[in-house]
Amino acid sequence: MGNIGDNLLDLVNRRELGKRMMGADFRTFCPWSESPTSILKVSKDGLWQGTGCFDAIVIGGGALLAGPPFKTPGLQSFFLGAYPERFADKCPVYWNAVCSDSQYAASLSPVWRSYVQNACSRIHAKTVRNQRTCEFLRECGVAGRIEVVPDPVLSLRPPSTRQPAARRKKRIGLALACPVFPASFLQRMQDAFERDLDIVNWSVVAVQTEALSRLLSFDAKDYMAVFHSLFKTFSDGEVEVAGFPADMYGDRTLAEQFGSEFPDVRVISIRDAEEACLWIESLDCIVASRFHTCVLAVVVGTPVVAVDLSFDSIAMTSKLMEFMASTGLLANYVTFEQLRAEPAALPNLVGSAESYRSVLHETHRDLYMASQSHFDWLAGDLRSVSRIRECPC
């Protein structure tokens, strides 16, 4: 997908399962892959290009349960296609630490509820990364076991007891996130939509133009000015802005624009996850909006203030809010609109976040151990239920 979160999920899932299943061969598929051989597409007959070729299918993690209604046909794939009751591959299918990302609408429609139930009846094991997703599935009438497990990226590295270096001034980092999808991303989704017209189930796909309207109304200068004004509240600290490798979202481009607009702020470029970890680890505190940037902060033990750009006022939650609550860090959470209304609150939030530094090691240790236990179970179950078959591909 071209962003740090999805890349990390692929890396950690492959690594953790691989070291528990020596000799296993992994292939990654995505509805929007740039490689034609890796495009995930399930036909209306329930067939996909890997039918009969694999011993198991693991879907996730991530915020993949974004429907119904789906804004693009490709999202049906994570529910096993337009008509999940027709899914023809006989191998076991797992939802691995997936998330509904504030989804609520499906439970309101009998057609959508039935679609979710049909998909879940075909999923061998369902694990989700927050309690809200579990509640959403229950509201859709899904029975059986649904396990809440940590995000896989929390297994990226073992817990550390690193102590911060003594400094005269604090170093505060901002991982600047673009709150709207850039035109290049929307075009990519449109191209995929037109390519996937033959798999659309129009009863569960509802095309919406809100992303385009948000882009057209987005005032980048005003957005950047809000964050620049927040920096002025730090009289005893140095602030750095980083553009993370999330080109599909436009984060790096926005960070570069920020540097051009406000030369008094240092802007650095992050090339990959390793550099991201090293930079976050070097800070006294990070202010971040992307979900997996906040996860990385917990992993490396750096206090984090989560500024939510995607809080859903109807569902009254978001994946970022759920994560901060599940880690006991909700006191360090704020929506962008709240912060915009009261910019002077940021230093207090940073101070509050720093007060949690001493418990971040324990927080990550508990989540890491729970994640490791989940991978132990997942690998064991994969070995027990999958059977080697001759591949017809």
> Would you say residue 391 has pLDDT above 60?
no
Structure tokens at 321: 């809010």
Report cis status (omega within 30 of 0) of the bond before 61.
Answer: yes
Do the Cβ atoms of 361 and 159 come closer than 8 Å? yes
- List the Cα angle 201/203/206 in 5-degree steps: 90
> Would you say residue 89 has pLDDT above 50?
yes
**More confident position, 207 or 154:** 154
> Would you say residue 328 has pLDDT above 80?
yes
Report cis status (omega within 30 of 0) of the bond before 68.
Answer: yes
pLDDT, one tens digit per residue, over 219-231 is 999 999 888 888 7
- List the Cα angle 151/25/53 in 5-degree steps: 105
Tell me the one-letter amino acid at 154: L
Mean pLDDT, rounded, for 383-390: 65
pLDDT, one tens digit per residue, over 162-187 is 666 666 678 899 998 989 888 888 88
What local confidence, expressed as pLDDT, does residue 165 receive?
63
**Would you give the distance in Å from CA 335 to the centre of its chain?**
17
What local confidence, expressed as pLDDT, does residue 389 receive?
47
> Would you say residue 280 has pLDDT above 70?
yes
Range with the largest mean pLDDT of 84-98, 191-205, 312-326: 84-98
Mean pLDDT, rounded, for 296-315: 92
> Would you say residue 5 has pLDDT above 90?
no
Q: Which residues pair with 243 in a beta bridge?
A: 269
Structure tokens at 299: 């992993």
Mean pLDDT, rounded, for 274-296: 93
How many other C-beta atoms can be found within 10 angstroms of the C-beta atom of residue 120?
Answer: 20
Mean pLDDT, rounded, for 75-104: 94
pLDDT, one tens digit per residue, over 19-50 is 999 999 999 999 988 788 899 999 999 999 99
Distances (CA, A) of 280 to 154, 168, 171, 244, 385: 15, 18, 10, 11, 40
> Would you say residue 13 has pLDDT above 80?
yes
> For the chain, what is the mean pLDDT?
89
**Would you give the distance in Å from CA 168 to the centre of its chain?**
35
What local confidence, expressed as pLDDT, does residue 315 receive?
80
Q: How confident is the model at residue 116 (pLDDT cuts 50, 70, 90)?
A: very high
SS3 label, residue 69? coil
Nearest to 12 by CA among 158, 152, 159, 157: 152
Q: Which residue has the tokens 């729970």?
A: 370
Distances (CA, A) of 101 to 62, 67, 149, 346: 9, 9, 15, 26
- Does an H or E element contain 288, and which? strand 285-288
Q: What is the CATH number of domain 170-193+218-361?
A: 3.40.50.2000
Nearest to 82 by CA among 191, 190, 196, 187: 196
> Would you say residue 97 has pLDDT above 80?
yes
> Would you say residue 203 has pLDDT above 60?
yes
DSSP state of 30: B
pLDDT, one tens digit per residue, over 257-273 is 988 998 888 888 888 88
CA atoms lying within 13 Å on the CB side of residue 150 = 25
What local confidence, expressed as pLDDT, does residue 281 receive?
93
**Would you give the distance in Å from CA 358 to the centre of its chain?**
26
Helices 4-20 + 273-281 axis angle, to 10: 100
Question: What residue ranges do the domains of the chain occupy?
Answer: 4-156+366-385, 170-193+218-361
For domain 4-156+366-385, the question of CATH label 2.60.40 is answered with no
Q: Do domains 4-156+366-385 and 170-193+218-361 have the same CATH topology?
A: yes
